């Protein structure tokens, strides 16, 4: 692999004959946004592609993907085509067409692919970290808010710079290539602690089951454990005829020393409880007993997808962007060959101390934790307990009759929280856990860091306007804003 530098941007290249394949990567994604700006990195990318087309109407154009950690622009073609496209793209990022913001917001999904589409993955990250950093993408939103032009340009100036970029290439030497990106400083990232300090289970609106653990980013023993557990869960689910699809594995970067490893499984309608019990049982078994030497040996072999060269470029780029330590292919193989069954068991045992099992809404689990006691439930909803005491706001009789079959519902206001109640279950959202208060006319939507929200239409409750006034007073002014729906695109 060749290393060089163009206009202050690190360049990593494998020499190959034929066309040039280039990926300009920026270390920015959903984890670097906020609730109010979620999706802004993808919007910057879409505007940059639009501006690149204007500069090169007949040339190649970048293919863009955006995820939790990175935003990537990939270009393939002749040396001249790639050079022209990357040069135009870098200039576009320095001069975004913010006046096209309203129009481009409606073509965003078509312009920029999401590199993480599985709702189980983003749901599990949201359950672990809440609606911040890596967990933000998993927050359910009914509306997406269009940032102001100043906010968008400020985001681009902070993150889409030469200090936060790396170019990976396969192909001939790109002599004469220029990358005129704007200057900037190396970003400082926020990596929150998991919301709960021990093993637990919780709910999210997902189709299937997810298990997440934190592990050292370079732990090959954890990589082997992850593969072993995936194979065991797949076999166990097939044996119980709970799922015909194999379990899936995913990873997400938390910080430069920690990675989140996830195991995902689906099942038939109504079978999520059995899937969850099977997955958790297999995870506990791996933490309790050493795997057989033959099983470890089988999973020590490196996967060939992606191919070694692509994986090497990817690892080197992530090291440049995020400071992740990386081993070369030979060193990695030697470390893998030294992994023992005890290493696998011990590494997984440590990770299980803070494992989190995520299941669809409506399930109630009764599972043992790693310490033998009942697994801790961290769901935002509380069952079979009396709601906190406070001022109650009940539905108007006419509204309740209008809903007919719907469950009876009321809201409790306490000095520290708003509590949404139905018979036998309630959800308390504390004011000190609020990340935003949306105002939609007279209606209010309280957004919690936990990943949930409580909406209040004062017309539905007796004294409802007193409730919304109290919410306005309890939430800091800098967290409250007026919700504005995206304008409809101009079809003329």
Quick check: 135 and 123 in contact, CB under 8 A?
A: no
Q: Are strands 453-456 and 356-360 parallel, antiparallel or unpaired?
A: unpaired
Q: Are strands 165-170 and 9-14 parallel, antiparallel or unpaired?
A: parallel
**pLDDT reported for residue 116:** 64
DSSP H or E run through 358: strand 356-360
**Rounded CA gap, 23 and 314, in Å?**
10
**pLDDT reported for residue 487:** 47
**pLDDT reported for residue 406:** 57
Quick check: 370 and 352 in contact, CB under 8 A?
A: yes
Residue 358: exposure state from Cβ atoms within 10 A (0-12, 13-18, ≥19): buried
Quick check: 358 and 207 in contact, CB under 8 A?
A: no
Q: Are strands 63-66 and 71-77 parallel, antiparallel or unpaired?
A: antiparallel
**pLDDT reported for residue 58:** 80
**pLDDT reported for residue 488:** 42
Q: What secondary structure letter does DSSP report for 485?
A: P
Residue 456: exposure state from Cβ atoms within 10 A (0-12, 13-18, ≥19): buried
**pLDDT reported for residue 403:** 56
**pLDDT reported for residue 228:** 97
- Domains belonging to the chain, first-starting first, are 2-118+130-170 (3.30.830.10), 200-378 (3.30.830.10), 382-481 (2.30.29.30)
| pLDDT tens per residue across all 492 residues of the chain | 899 999 999 999 999 888 999 999 999 999 999 988 888 999 999 999 989 988 887 878 899 998 899 999 999 999 999 999 999 999 999 999 888 787 766 666 556 656 666 889 999 999 999 998 899 888 876 566 788 899 999 999 999 999 999 999 999 888 899 999 999 999 988 888 899 999 999 999 899 999 999 999 989 999 999 999 999 999 999 988 777 789 999 999 998 899 999 999 987 778 899 999 999 999 999 999 999 999 999 998 756 556 677 778 998 999 999 998 887 777 878 888 899 999 999 999 999 999 999 999 889 999 999 999 999 999 988 988 899 999 999 988 766 655 555 568 899 999 999 999 999 899 999 999 999 999 999 999 999 998 889 999 999 999 999 999 999 999 999 999 887 655 443 433
**Rounded CA gap, 236 and 231, in Å?**
9
- In DSSP notation, 322-364 reads H------HHHHHHHHHT--HHHHHHHHHHHHTT-EEEEETT--
DSSP β-bridge partners for residue 454:
446
**pLDDT reported for residue 383:** 87
**Backbone angles phi and psi of 250, in degrees to 5:** -150, 160
**pLDDT reported for residue 251:** 93
DSSP-derived 3-state class of residue 83: helix
Q: Which two tokens stand for residue 248?
A: 């899936």
- In DSSP notation, 389-442 reads PSEEEEBPHHHHHHHTTSPP-EEEE-SSEEEEEETTEEEEEEGGGEEEEEEETT
**pLDDT reported for residue 484:** 65
Q: Which two tokens stand for residue 489?
A: 């695109």
């Amino acid at each position: 692999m060749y290393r060089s530098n163009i206009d202050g941007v690190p360049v990593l290249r494998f020499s190959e004959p034929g066309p040039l394949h280039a990926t300009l990567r920026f270390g920015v994604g959903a984890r670097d946004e906020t609730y109010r700006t979620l999706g802004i990195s993808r919007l910057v990318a879409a505007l940059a592609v639009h501006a690149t087309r204007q500069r090169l109407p007949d040339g190649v154009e970048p293919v863009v993907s955006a995820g939790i950690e990175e935003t990537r622009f990939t270009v393939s073609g002749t040396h001249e085509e790639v050079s022209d496209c990357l040069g135009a793209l870098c200039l576009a990022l320095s001069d975004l067409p913010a006046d096209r913001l309203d129009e481009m917001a409606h073509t965003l999904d078509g312009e920029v692919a999401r590199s993480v589409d599985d709702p189980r993955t983003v749901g599990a990250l949201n359950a672990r970290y809440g609606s911040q950093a890596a967990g933000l993408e998993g927050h359910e939103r009914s509306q997406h808010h269009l940032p102001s032009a100043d906010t968008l340009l400020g985001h681009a100036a902070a993150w889409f710079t030469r200090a936060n970029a790396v170019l990976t290439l396969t192909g001939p030497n790109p002599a004469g290539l220029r990358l005129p990106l704007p200057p900037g400083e190396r970003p400082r990232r926020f990596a929150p602690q998991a919301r709960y300090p021990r093993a637990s289970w919780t709910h999210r609106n997902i189709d299937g089951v997810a298990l997440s653990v934190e592990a050292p980013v370079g732990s090959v023993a954890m990589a082997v454990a992850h593969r072993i557990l995936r194979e065991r869960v797949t076999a166990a689910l097939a044996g119980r005829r709970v799922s015909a699809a194999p379990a899936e594995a995913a990873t997400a970067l938390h910080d430069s020393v920690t990675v989140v490893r996830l195991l995902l499984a689906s099942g038939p309608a109504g079978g999520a409880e059995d899937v969850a019990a099977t997955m958790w049982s297999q995870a506990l078994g791996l933490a309790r007993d050493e795997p057989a030497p033959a099983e470890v040996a089988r999973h020590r072999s490196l996967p060939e997808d992606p191919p070694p060269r692509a994986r090497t470029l990817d690892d080197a780029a992530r090291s440049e962007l995020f400071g992740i330590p990386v081993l070369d292919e030979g060193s990695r193989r030697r470390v893998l060959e030294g992994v023992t069954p005890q290493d696998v068991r011990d590494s997984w045992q440590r990770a299980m101390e803070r494992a989190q099992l995520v299941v669809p809404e409506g399930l109630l689990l009764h599972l043992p934790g790693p310490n033998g006691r009942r697994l801790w439930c961290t769901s935002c909803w509380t069952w079979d307990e009396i709601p906190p005491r406070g001022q109650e706001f009940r539905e108007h009789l006419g509204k309740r009759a209008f809903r007919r079959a719907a469950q009876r519902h009321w809201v409790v206001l306490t000095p520290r929280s708003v509590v949404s109640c139905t018979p036998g279950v309630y959800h308390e959202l504390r004011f000190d856990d609020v990340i935003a208060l949306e105002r939609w006319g007279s209606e209010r939507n309280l957004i919690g860091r936990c990943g949930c929200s409580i909406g209040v239409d004062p017309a539905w409750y007796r004294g409802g306007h007193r409730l919304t006034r109290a919410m306005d007073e309890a939430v800091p002014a800098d967290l409250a804003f007026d919700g504005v729906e995206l304008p409809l695109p101009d079809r003329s």
